[in-house]
Amino acid sequence: MYHHRTEVWYNNDMSVGSSYQICPEADGLYCVNQQVDLSWNDHTHYFNTDLNVYGDLGCPKK
Which bin fits 51, alpha (ψ -120 to 50), beta or left (φ > 0)? alpha
pTM: predicted TM-score of the whole model, two decimal places: 0.61
22 or 2: which leads in pLDDT? 22
Q: What is the predicted pLDDT for the residue at 56?
A: 96
Tens of pLDDT, residues 4-51:
778 888 888 899 999 998 888 776 777 777 776 667 777 888 888 999
Is it the case that residue 1 has pLDDT exceeding 60?
no
Angle, vertex CA 11, rays to CA 10 and CA 12, nearest 5? 90
CA 26 and chain centroid, separation: 13
Is it the case that residue 3 has pLDDT exceeding 70?
no
Q: What is the predicted pLDDT for the residue at 2?
A: 59
